[in-house]
Structure 1
Amino acid sequence: MATTRLERIGSIFSRTEGLLLRGAIKPDDRPLWFDVYKAFPPAVEPKFARPKLENLTIKPILYKEDLIRAKFHAKGQGLSVNMLNTTGETQTKRLIQTYQRLQSEGVPEEELIQKSTEAVESARRSPADTKIIAKNPESVTAKVLAEADLKNIFKE
């Protein structure tokens, strides 16, 4: 089936603007993005016929922590996130901090992952970590969570 090649002529903005000017689209029915695009046009108009950019090399952005995370994942250490913990301390963050602390203490490289995983696991099992600290202890949600037995919620 033959189709038109109008997408190659102009941009979506210029075609929509043309439809608005000729009355094919009512001003109330214009797309939401139209006014934003008109107020903040791009530096280079996105057209189909625009020449492709030269092959730009993408700079690798790696942090020291990324390499540590990769080591943990390569060893098969599962990093879970407790969504009820609102303190911002994730298991990954604790692993990295423990890893860096042990590394500064001079622990051999082979033992770093194992020891830091064991340290975080033992801290995770402690009851202090499972305690939920509410920002507003008077809220209804805080009261419900304080009364709820999350470990045995499905046992009955």
Structure 2
Amino acid sequence: MASSRLERIGTIFTRVEGLLTKGAMRPDDRPLWFDVYRAFPPLTEPKFAKPKPEIKPIRQILYSEDAVRAKFHSKGHGLGAVNMISQTETQTKKLIQQYEKLKSEGVPENELIEKSAAVVGSERQLEATKAKVNIQSPNSVTAQVLADADLKNIFSEKKIE
């Protein structure tokens, strides 16, 4: 059976169908996929001798902001963590928007990246300080949870009374 070329004659579906019609396989022993394949046959029959598809070259898709993005990443800007849950813009998108804004204002090309990175960095620091203020306010839920938590003795065993 090792030198058999039967896989080149017909498909696995036609061979199983032949076994069922000739009685070599009981209908109860047919594979699970058989009824699904019969109900939803493929558009093109999967044959061994089918010609290989024509290999087309992959077209390069580059956008105008890809060059700007590459400049930012090569300088080390815009590599912050991305929160996929929130709907906020990524650091790189903010950098590109600031870059386009400064470019339209007439800032020289060699200063665009550094100035836009500085502006976005300062905005990021403002957001971080606002977040710290919210956490440090005594009325916030986070502050209350942190005040109640005993982090020093978190792993010590407590007696439940």
In 2, Cα distance between equivalents of 1:79 and 1:68: 14
Q: What root-mean-square deviation, in Å, do the aligned CA atoms of Structure 1 and Structure 2 show? A: 4.1
Question: Relative contact order, CA 8 A, sep 6+: which one is greater?
Answer: 1
TM-score by length of 2: 0.57
Tell me the SS of whatever aligns to 1:101.
helix
Q: Is 1:61 the equivalent of 2:56?
A: no
CA distance in 2, matches of 1:101, 1:44: 52
CA distance in 1, matches of 2:95, 2:111: 13
The alignment-based identity, stated in percent, is: 45
CA 1:91 to 1:55, structure 2 compared with 1: closer, same or farther past 3 Å?
Answer: same
Q: Distance in 2 between matches of 1:62 and 1:80?
A: 23
1:122 maps to 122
Which structure 1 residue ranges, 5 or more long, are not aligned? 132-144, 150-154
Deviation at 1:101, TM superposition (A): 0.8
- The total of aligned residue pairs comes to 133
The answer to whether residue 110 in structure 2 is matched with residue 73 in structure 1 is: no
Partner in structure 1 of residue 86 of structure 2: 86
Largest Rg, 1 or 2? 2
Q: Which residue of 1 aligns with 2:40?
A: 39
**Equivalent residues of 1:72, 1:113 under 8 A apart:** yes
Higher mean C-alpha deviation, range 18-27 or range 103-112: 18-27
TM-score by length of 1: 0.59
Cα distance between partner residues in 1 of 2:141 and 2:18: 59
- CA shift for structure 1 position 95: 0.9
> 1:20 touches 1:26 (CA, 8 Å); kept in 2?
no
**Does the C-alpha gap of structure 1 residues 36 and 15 become closer, same or farther in structure 2, counting only changes over 3 Å?**
closer
